[in-house]
């Protein structure tokens, strides 16, 4: 259900924290095995996607810490005969233009923020 980077670093760690907070707010329990820690790349997202989508009960959604991991999970879903968004929802963070890989388009752009929820400002040099 959740793909994240290991070891935790601040932006990813805060995403995991926000993910858990949102689940708790809506009284949704998640078994620890549904949170996969992996590298920040497509191949790792694919391998974790295969593991997650082979679990019973199968998750209905995957929230990946970045878009490359989400793309890997999408490829895993396709290999298993699942259709996104009909059979599985997959969400990634990064705002990469990956819409060409998923038709109909189900990607969206989200504002980037820091853990306190305020917008992130570009560093000036």
Q: Identify whether 114 is part of a domain.
A: no
Does the pLDDT of residue 106 top 70, yes or no?
no
User: What pLDDT shows up at residue 3?
Assistant: 53
Q: Identify whether 108 is part of a domain.
A: no
Query: How many helices (H) and strands (E) would you count in the chain?
Result: 3, 4
Look at the chain and report how many structural domains it folds into. 1
Q: Identify whether 40 is part of a domain.
A: yes
pLDDT tens readout for residues 3-20: 544 444 444 566 777 888
User: What pLDDT shows up at residue 8?
Assistant: 42
Quick one: what percent of the chain has pLDDT higher than 70? 64
pTM for the model:
0.70
Q: Identify whether 115 is part of a domain.
A: no
Beta bridge partners of 62: 90
Q: Identify whether 122 is part of a domain.
A: no
Which residue range(s) make up the domain with 85?
A: 2-101
pLDDT tens readout for residues 16-62: 778 888 889 999 888 888 888 888 899 999 999 999 999 999 999 99
CATH number at residue 43: 3.40.50.2300
Q: Identify whether 76 is part of a domain.
A: yes
In the chain, the N- to C-terminal Cα span, in Å, equals 39
């Amino acid at each position: 259900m959740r793909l994240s980077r290991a070891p935790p670093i601040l932006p990813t760690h805060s995403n995991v924290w926000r993910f858990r907070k949102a689940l708790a707010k809506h009284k949704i329990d998640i078994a620890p095995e549904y949170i996969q820690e992996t590298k920040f790349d497509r191949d790792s997202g694919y391998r974790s996607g295969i593991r997650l989508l082979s679990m019973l009960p199968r998750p209905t959604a995957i929230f990946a810490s970045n878009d490359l991991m989400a793309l890997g999970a999408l490829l895993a879903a396709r290999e298993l005969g699942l259709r996104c968004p009909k059979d599985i929802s997959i969400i990634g963070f990064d705002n990469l233009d990956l819409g060409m890989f998923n038709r109909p388009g189900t990607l969206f752009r989200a504002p980037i923020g820091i853990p306190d929820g305020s917008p992130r400002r570009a560093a000036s040099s």
